[in-house]
Amino acid sequence: MSTFVSADSLRDDIYHGNHQTVLASYWAPGEGGGYKRYESEHMPTALFCDPAYALAGIPSSDDGRNPLPEAHYLQDWFSRWGLEEGSRVVVYDEGRGLMAARAWWILRWAGLDDVQILDGGLKRWDELGYPIVGGPGNFAMSDGGAVKIGGLPVAEIDDVRDHIAGGGVLVDTRDSRRFEGRREILDLKAGHIPGAINIPVRELLNDDWTIRTREEIRERFARDGITSCENVVLYSGSGNHSALAIAAMEYAGLGCATHYVGGWSQWSADPTNPVQRGF
């Protein structure tokens, strides 16, 4: 099973009545902004996934902007979506892949194995002329199964400190301006975790935000000496860009790297943590 699925392939699956749960992971500013976008336009059969409530816990300086959700809250969403062990799930967003990747990573972390990202999202689907519908959407066909936390490796902030001290590879997947500390509008400080290297997730994508080839992704990581996920931790601002980079690594056959979900938003909020700027 590939980490990414093409719009052509998913369209055929839907047309032929193959069973999969499609989740529209939509975020937009303002109360209920994501659901308004979903009501306006979504793929046929898609259910709504609210990234802010379904895929993250309560933000704080201690835990970061998008901390991991509590298992019992995520269980409520599993029930709404009818997800259970063995379910095939395809997640998508407006096209950049960040919210879809967040959904992919959280669902895999919560114990589901068969989860894919729609390559290019709704933008690619629309470009190919496939149908888009509006309204409240479909309802789940079952009550859902149990969330089983721990399906993917996670690093806490103390793990990251130990990882750095032990000579492990730490990858910052934000764009170079944020990594270097030249621009920061989301978090409390500008810069990056000392010792991290920068592999912006945008470099793993084509101009149209679809995923690059497996060979190109492997080549990009190899430029920084990374040929597998062993002893590698990825982070971003709060776990979205890094989720997409982890998905790209798995797609390219590099394995599924450990994820520091708290990311720069958590690290920079602690005044005792060192900050590095530039390269």
Higher pLDDT, 248 or 146: 248
Give yes or no for residue 140 having a pLDDT over 70.
no
Q: Tell me, yes or no, whether 115 and 71 share the same domain.
A: yes
Position 193 in a domain: yes
226 near 258, Cβ under 8 Å? no
Q: What is the mean pLDDT of residues 54-62?
A: 93
Model confidence band, residue 141 (pLDDT cutoffs 50, 70, 90): low
What pLDDT, on the 0 to 100 scale, is given for residue 142? 66
Rounded CA separation 219/158 (Å): 31
Let me know if residue 209 belongs to a domain.
yes
**Residue 14 and residue 121 in one domain:** yes
Among 107, 127, 147, give the residue marking a domain's end: 127
Q: Where are the beta strands (DSSP E) in 95-215?
A: 115-118, 169-172, 197-198
Who's near 193: CB < 8 A, 6+ residues apart? 160, 164, 170, 172, 235, 264, 267, 273, 275, 276
Question: What pTM, to 2 d.p., does this model score?
Answer: 0.95
Sign of the Cα pseudo-torsion (109, 114, 120, 123, in order): negative
Residue 47 lies in a domain: yes
Check pLDDT > 70 for residue 18.
yes
Whether 132 is covered by a domain: the verdict is no
Helix (H) / strand (E) containing 235: strand 232-235
User: Is residue 57 a part of any domain in this protein?
Assistant: yes
The reply to whether 96 and 190 lie within a common domain is: no
Tell me how far apart the alpha carbons of residues 79 and 140 are, in angstroms, rounded to a whole number.
8
The answer to whether residues 115 and 205 belong to one domain is: no
- Is residue 174 domain-shared with residue 108, that is, in the same domain? no
Query: At a CB cut-off of 8 Å and minimum separation 6, what does 113 contact?
Result: 151
The answer to whether position 146 is within a domain reads no
Q: Which helix (H) or strand (E) holds 214?
A: helix 214-222
Tens-place pLDDT, residues 20-52: 999 999 988 878 888 999 999 999 999 999 999
Q: Which two tokens stand for residue 50?
A: 């609210």
Q: In 6-93, which ranges are E strands?
A: 21-25, 47-49, 89-92
51: its two tokens = 């990234």
Task: Give the C-alpha separation, 151 to 83, whole Å.
Answer: 15
In a domain, residue 114? The reply is yes
User: Rounded mean pLDDT of the chain?
Assistant: 93
Closest-CA residue to 19 (of 167, 198, 180, 140): 140
* Mean per-residue pLDDT, 132-145: 76
**Edge-to-edge order in the sheet of strand 258-259:** 197-198, 169-172, 232-235, 258-259
CATH number for position 14 = 3.40.250.10
Measured CA to CA, the distance from residue 9 to residue 231 in angstroms comes to 34
> What percent of the chain is helix, strand and coil (3-state, nearest 5)?
35, 15, 50
Within a domain: 168: yes
Q: Are residues 207 and 104 part of one domain?
A: no
Confidence of residue 166 (pLDDT cuts 50, 70, 90): very high
Q: Give the count of domains, the chain.
A: 2
Segments forming the whole domain that contains residue 22: 4-127
Q: Are residues 205 and 167 in the same domain?
A: yes
